[in-house]
């Protein structure tokens, strides 16, 4: 290889922000409605948003109330070849439309119903298209299944790291050992057992993991969100995610008035469990009526946010980073390459160094000082935590809102107009290469899933008739 070609490749690999990524972010920003183009908005500035699969394995082996799956979901056969083919097509389209890097969920029914080889093949297809995949599960599977997904037939790791999101709440029915849990506390042994598998995976095979804990919230268990937060914070989960229930999916499983649970009510319960306020206003993904999140360090049982929304210096650093560094791909990049990327960016903007160091000092002070940080690290009492609330919308509002949006009409009904605003700012997208569209997740579940699953029922019937 000529040295000029090698040098050109090296320069491109270590370039802080590529033209392709910048173009994808600019498109994303242009698509957003004006009401979310705020100083703290991250969509279109450092991320295109999350992505998910659909119609790839709708079947689940638990019965939950509520259930977001369409009524026909469990009448569709799990078919590995179909899953891998559809995941590949959907990811290829996302790669084309939304750039070379994003987080994507391998989601449908229950992912562990896939044969391990098919599960692994789907994850590899996602990675091949620049997606960081997260497998969505109820967590009721054995360690051997995890090994069969992560390791090849020779026992070698297929992946350096895996991401799983496990859903645990007392609304779920059919879990082995907890068929009908009465309280959230009853599920703690199962939460711990799930997380322990990934500790063993790291110790035995060197495969790192990122774990999210998901919980649906209704009036029947909102009072237990605090205890769940308190308990799960002591387990090796990286993210705690809560979803106020919405009226969508299989209406036979709607048992309560889910509208009683607001995003504010859930967040206050999370703060109660964390034992402190959790500031979230410094950053935003999409519409604040849909999403709320904060990230930081947990040091000796106390959460330390990376950004304090009441500290002007923190917000100044945020603005600098979004202006100068947004679009830098860091996930899946080898450490030496990432180091060069950062150094090149800092050399281009040397004035950013003092404010960044100042932010690091403020984070350290909020954590009790450098000595406290070092002591917590020595005792393994430090970790990175993220708190999230995703609030979905009712199907009765999404359907008319989406129909009008397809006609370019803004509703004069305040509730439907609000739904249109939230759909326009959606951070969670499904890919439809057959129609050339990217669809908000609420539209997928409320509008498209019923017809899609009815078609899958014919394509992949539970009983195969042989000629």
Q: What is the pLDDT of residues 228-267, one digit of tens each?
A: 999 999 999 999 999 998 887 666 656 666 667 899 999 9
What is the maximum alpha-carbon separation in the chain? Answer: 73
Distance (Å) of CA 199 to CA 151, 177, 211 = 15, 22, 11
CATH superfamily, with its number, for domain 48-301+381-395+427-437: Aldolase class I (3.20.20.70)
Choose between 247 and 302: higher pLDDT.
Answer: 302
Task: State the pLDDT at residue 3.
Answer: 81
Q: What is the DSSP letter of 243?
A: E
Residues of the chain with CATH 3.20.20.70: 48-301+381-395+427-437
Judged on CB neighbours under 10 Å (0-12, 13-18, 19+), 230 is middle
Judged on CB neighbours under 10 Å (0-12, 13-18, 19+), 252 is exposed
Going by C-alpha positions, the residue among 369, 335, 449 that lies closest to residue 56 is 449
Each residue's pLDDT tens digit, 386-434:
999 999 999 999 999 999 999 999 999 999 999 999 999 999 999 999 9
The whole-angstrom distance between residue 185's C-alpha and the CA centroid of its chain comes to 24
Is the dihedral angle over the CA atoms 303, 306, 307, 311 positive or is it negative? positive
Specify the 3-state DSSP secondary structure of 238: coil
Task: State the pLDDT at residue 165.
Answer: 98
Task: State the pLDDT at residue 10.
Answer: 78
Each residue's pLDDT tens digit, 103-148:
999 999 999 999 999 999 999 999 999 999 999 999 999 999 999 9
- Residue 276: is its pLDDT beyond 80? yes
Each residue's pLDDT tens digit, 361-382:
999 999 999 999 999 999 989 9
Task: State the pLDDT at residue 259.
Answer: 66
- Give the global pTM: 0.94
3-state helix, strand, coil in the chain (%, to 5): 45, 20, 35
**pLDDT averaged over every residue in the chain:** 94
Work out the number of other CB atoms within 10 angstroms of the CB of residue 434. 9
Going by C-alpha positions, the residue among 179, 161, 183 that lies closest to residue 170 is 183
Going by C-alpha positions, the residue among 371, 464, 462 that lies closest to residue 72 is 462
Q: If you write DSSP's letter for every residue of 387-419 in order, what string do you get?
A: EEEE----HHHHHHHHHHHHTT---SSHHHHHH
Partnered with residue 303 across adjacent β-strands are: 298
Give the mean model confidence (pLDDT) for residues 200-205: 98
């Amino acid at each position: 290889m000529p040295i000029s070609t090698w040098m050109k490749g090296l320069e491109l690999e270590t370039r802080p922000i590529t033209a392709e990524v910048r173009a994808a972010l600019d498109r994303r920003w242009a698509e957003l409605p004006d009401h979310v183009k705020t100083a703290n908005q991250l969509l279109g500035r450092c991320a295109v948003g999350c992505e998910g699969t659909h119609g790839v394995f709708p079947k689940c082996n638990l019965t939950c109330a509520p259930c977001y799956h369409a009524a026909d979901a469990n009448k569709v056969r799990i078919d590995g070849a179909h899953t891998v083919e559809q995941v590949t097509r959907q990811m290829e389209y996302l790669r084309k439309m939304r750039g070379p890097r994003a987080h994507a969920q391998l989601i449908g029914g229950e992912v562990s119903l896939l044969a391990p080889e098919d599960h692994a093949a789907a994850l590899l297809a996602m990675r091949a298209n620049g997606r960081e995949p997260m497998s969505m599960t109820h967590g009721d599977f054995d360690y051997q299944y995890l090994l069969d997904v992560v390791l090849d037939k020779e026992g070698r790791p297929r992946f350096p790291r895996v991401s799983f999101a496990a859903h645990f709440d007392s609304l779920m029915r059919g879990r082995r050992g907890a068929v009908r849990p009465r309280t959230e506390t009853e599920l703690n042994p199962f939460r711990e057992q799930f997380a322990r598998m990934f500790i063993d995976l790291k110790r035995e095979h060197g495969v790192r993991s990122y774990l999210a804990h998901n919980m649906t919230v209704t009036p029947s268990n909102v009072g237990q969100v605090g205890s769940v937060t308190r308990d799960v914070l002591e387990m090796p989960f990286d993210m705690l995610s809560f979803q106020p229930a919405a009226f969508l999916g299989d209406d036979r499983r709607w048992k309560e008035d889910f509208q009683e649970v607001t995003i504010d009510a859930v967040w206050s319960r999370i703060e109660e469990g964390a034992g402190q306020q959790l500031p979230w206003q410094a950053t935003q993904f999409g519409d604040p009526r849909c999403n709320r999140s904060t990230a930081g360090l947990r040091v000796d049982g106390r959460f330390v946010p990376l950004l304090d929304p009441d500290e002007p210096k923190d917000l100044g650093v945020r603005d600098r980073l979004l202006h100068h560094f947004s679009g830098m791909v860091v996930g899946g990049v080898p450490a030496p390459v990432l180091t060069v990327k950062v150094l090149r960016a800092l050399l281009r903007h040397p004035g950013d160094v003092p404010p960044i160091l100042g932010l690091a000092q403020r984070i350290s002070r909020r954590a009790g000082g450098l000595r406290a940080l070092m002591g917590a690290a020595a005792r393994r009492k430090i970790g990175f935590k993220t708190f999230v609330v995703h609030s979905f919308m009712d199907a009765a509002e999404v359907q008319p809102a989406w129909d009008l949006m397809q006609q370019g009409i803004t509703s004069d009904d305040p509730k439907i107009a609000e739904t249109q605003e939230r759909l326009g700012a959606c951070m969670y997208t499904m890919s439809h290469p057959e129609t050339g569209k990217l669809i908000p997740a609420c539209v997928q579940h409320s509008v498209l899933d019923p017809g899609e699953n009815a078609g899958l029922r014919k394509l992949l019937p539970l009983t195969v008739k042989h000629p």
